[in-house]
């Protein structure tokens, strides 16, 4: 009943963010109400997550991931419900020295879920992968353009020297199967960019890259093929690719 009451307080409000006082009250209730495992019950802050600073939501994300799929999906929706026009954007803090951004756009959610250190937060690898799959299956929220924006952002960070998240190539493969609209971009932008970043230096990601390239090598669509990306491979890696997937 208390959760419903808190939810109604926010729903009944106008389009402005939940007040700082309401956020503080929900956080205090969360600390006082423990779940069956003795942890603060995350359901009590779900109604106000759109008004919580993004940096704080990032700290809470592991707890949402540990919850049920329904709790996770509801929370992600509430985080982004006032950020519709930013759904395909990973926002930069206006002032890097201050954390002022509130809520979490759909693009940001997809990026942060990929970057979760599941070992450190104590969740099985399977749950980490399942959470991303659950999001990808939600076409209304994580549509092709949102997924593209997230994959693009992560690949840009890869070129800057960051490692690719474990699930990254798996997500691209799932996206190939789900969103034909992104085939051209994956073939002509994303796969070549990953070659530029030497994706073949990571065995797991390299295996995923080769599998994805094979899926798109002969799509049947005029002008859409991964051959251009394959041709950008260094000679040694190109031979490895052809040894695994001979040209027909």
What is the reported pLDDT for 148?
A: 98
What is the reported pLDDT for 61?
A: 94
What is the reported pLDDT for 1?
A: 45
Percentage helix, strand, coil, to 5, in the chain? 65, 0, 35
Contact call for residues 172 and 216 (beta carbons, < 8 A): no
What is the reported pLDDT for 10?
A: 59
Helix (H, G, I), strand (E, B) or coil at 161: coil
Q: Closest by alpha carbon to 180, among 207, 205, 216, 155?
A: 216
What is the reported pLDDT for 33?
A: 77
Contact call for residues 47 and 82 (beta carbons, < 8 A): no
DSSP state of 201: G
What is the reported pLDDT for 87?
A: 95
Q: Distance (Å, rounded) from C-alpha 144 to C-alpha 112?
A: 17
Q: Distance (Å, rounded) from C-alpha 191 to C-alpha 205?
A: 12
What is the reported pLDDT for 223?
A: 81
Q: Distance (Å, rounded) from C-alpha 44 to C-alpha 3?
A: 6
Location of structure tokens 């076409």: 139
What is the reported pLDDT for 47?
A: 87
What does the pLDDT profile of the chain (248 residues) look like in tens digits?
A: 455 545 655 554 456 788 888 888 888 888 887 777 777 788 888 889 999 999 999 999 999 999 899 989 999 999 998 898 999 999 999 998 999 999 999 999 999 999 999 999 999 999 999 999 999 999 999 999 999 999 999 999 999 999 999 999 999 999 999 999 999 999 999 999 999 999 999 999 999 999 999 999 987 777 899 999 999 999 999 999 999 999 87
What is the reported pLDDT for 13?
A: 47
Helices 235-244 and 203-217 meet at what angle, rounded to 10? 70
Q: Closest by alpha carbon to 81, among 121, 118, 107, 50?
A: 50
What is the reported pLDDT for 215?
A: 95
What is the reported pLDDT for 133?
A: 96
């Amino acid at each position: 009943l208390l959760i419903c009451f808190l939810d109604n307080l926010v729903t009944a409000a106008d389009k402005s963010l939940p007040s700082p006082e309401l956020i503080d009250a929900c956080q205090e209730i969360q600390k006082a109400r423990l779940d069956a495992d003795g942890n603060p019950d995350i359901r009590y802050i779900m109604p106000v997550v759109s008004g919580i600073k993004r940096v704080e939501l990032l700290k809470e994300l592991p707890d949402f991931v540990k919850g049920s799929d329904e709790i996770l999906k509801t929370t992600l929706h509430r985080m982004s419900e006032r950020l519709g026009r930013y759904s395909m954007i990973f926002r930069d803090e206006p002032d890097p020295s201050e954390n002022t951004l509130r809520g979490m756009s759909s693009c940001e959610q997809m990026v942060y879920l990929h970057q979760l250190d599941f070992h450190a937060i104590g969740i099985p690898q399977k749950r980490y992968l399942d959470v991303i799959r659950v999001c990808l299956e939600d076409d209304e929220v994580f549509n092709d353009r949102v997924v593209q924006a997230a994959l693009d952002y992560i690949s840009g960070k890869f070129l800057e020297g960051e490692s690719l998240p474990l699930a990254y190539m798996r997500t691209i493969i799932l996206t190939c199967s789900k969103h034909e609209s992104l085939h051209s971009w994956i073939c002509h932008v994303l796969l070549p960019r990953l070659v530029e970043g030497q994706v073949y230096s990571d065995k797991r990601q390299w295996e995923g890259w080769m599998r994805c390239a094979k899926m798109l090598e002969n799509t049947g669509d005029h002008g859409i093929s991964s051959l251009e990306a394959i041709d950008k491979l260094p000679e040694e890696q190109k031979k490895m690719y052809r040894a695994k997937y001979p040209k027909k």
